[in-house]
Amino acid sequence: MNTINKKLSFIAILRESYDFIWRERGNFSWPFAILIGVLLLQPIYIALHLHWATASSSSVVVLMGVLAFLADLAFSIGIVRATAHGEFRPGWRFFRVDRLLWQCLWVQVLVVLLSGALLMAITIPLSFVIMTFINLRHWFIAAGLVASLVLVYAWIRTRLVLAVPLRALGVARPIAEAWALARGNVWRILGLILLAWVPMLVLSVISVLPLWGLAGKSSFAIYSVWPLMVYVVCYGVCGLISYVVQANCCRALRTVSVPLP
């Protein structure tokens, strides 16, 4: 694997990502509508359950959450492959519900476990130092060390964030390649992903403003349906932008092409 890295350009990646979304909007508009429909099932069910107090078990909510997660992952695979290789599969086939989905799911699990293990290896010894400063009432030093742990975790997760898109593109060792490709570009990649999610953060805050001051489960359930729907749509749009950005980062950083599986 060639690991000669080059610096990502914020402007170039963002412009390319938004241009792609606008140019190809007709090719993935229907799959995106399907994804939003699936994602809306869980919040609508929760709101209706709170209002009518049905006897449904919490396992239904968990099942809907799993379904939404898998649908989102299958959609992200389709978006990554469409962005990097122009592979647009019609209708439901845009969602990669095949072995590639389970491979990407396994990679996602490994990324979470690996990043958690690396963070714990740093946190455990550092926690004794933090507690020492807390006992000495050196609050600013303790807060600085805690903030440094947050930055370290963000650095680790960003170093591995391209693993799932790389697996979606057919890379055999996605975690190792993601770690290598992100070298020298960690904060650029993190900045690009955060910029993709800024619209959701703003719109989601606006969407929940009508819920302030509501009292009681019934009132909350009645008036929470539309804000939840706005939140889910914002999540879907920002997720779409984030997947395209990650795919463009992979394409910009990789120096060798990988054939489609």
Residues in the chain: 261
**Reduced to 3 states, what is the DSSP secondary structure of residue 24?**
coil
213 has pLDDT over 60: no
Residue 147 is predicted with a pLDDT of 86
Range of the domain at 212: 10-253
In a domain, 261, yes or no: no
In a domain, 92, yes or no: yes
- Which of 31, 148, 151, 17 shows the shortest CA–CA distance to 94? 31
111 has pLDDT over 90: yes
Worst-scoring range by mean pLDDT, 91-100, 154-163, 164-173?
Answer: 91-100
Residue 73 is predicted with a pLDDT of 94
Read off the tokens for 195. Answer: 């910029």
Which band of pLDDT confidence, cut at 50, 70 and 90, is reported for residue 49? low
Highest-scoring range by mean pLDDT, 47-56, 82-91, 222-231, 235-244: 235-244
CA–CA distance, 91 with 176 (Å, rounded to integer):
33
159 has pLDDT over 90: yes
**Reduced to 3 states, what is the DSSP secondary structure of residue 82?**
helix
CB 69: neighbour CB atoms within 10 A? 13
In a domain, 180, yes or no: yes
Residue 163 is predicted with a pLDDT of 95
In a domain, 5, yes or no: no
In a domain, 260, yes or no: no
In a domain, 40, yes or no: yes
Cα atoms found within 13 Å of the Cα of residue 207, Cβ hemisphere only: 18
Map tokens 């990649």 to a residue. 189
> pLDDT for 145-156, tens place per residue?
888 888 988 999
In a domain, 258, yes or no: no
If one counts the domains in the chain, the total is: 1
Residue 222 is predicted with a pLDDT of 52
- The b-or-e profile of 143-167 (16+ CB within 10 A means b, else e) is eebeeeeeeebebbbbbbbbbbbbb
CA–CA distance, 144 with 28 (Å, rounded to integer):
44
Residue 211 is predicted with a pLDDT of 60
Q: Confirm whether pTM is higher than 0.75.
A: yes
Q: What percentage of the chain exceeds 70 in pLDDT?
A: 82
> pLDDT for 119-152, tens place per residue?
888 888 888 887 887 777 777 888 888 888 889 8
- Which of 238, 197, 233, 168 shows the shortest CA–CA distance to 21? 238
261 has pLDDT over 60: no
In a domain, 201, yes or no: yes
pLDDT averaged over the chain?
81
Q: Output the CA–CA distances (angstroms, integers) from residue 65 to 20, 69, 220, in the order listed.
A: 29, 6, 21
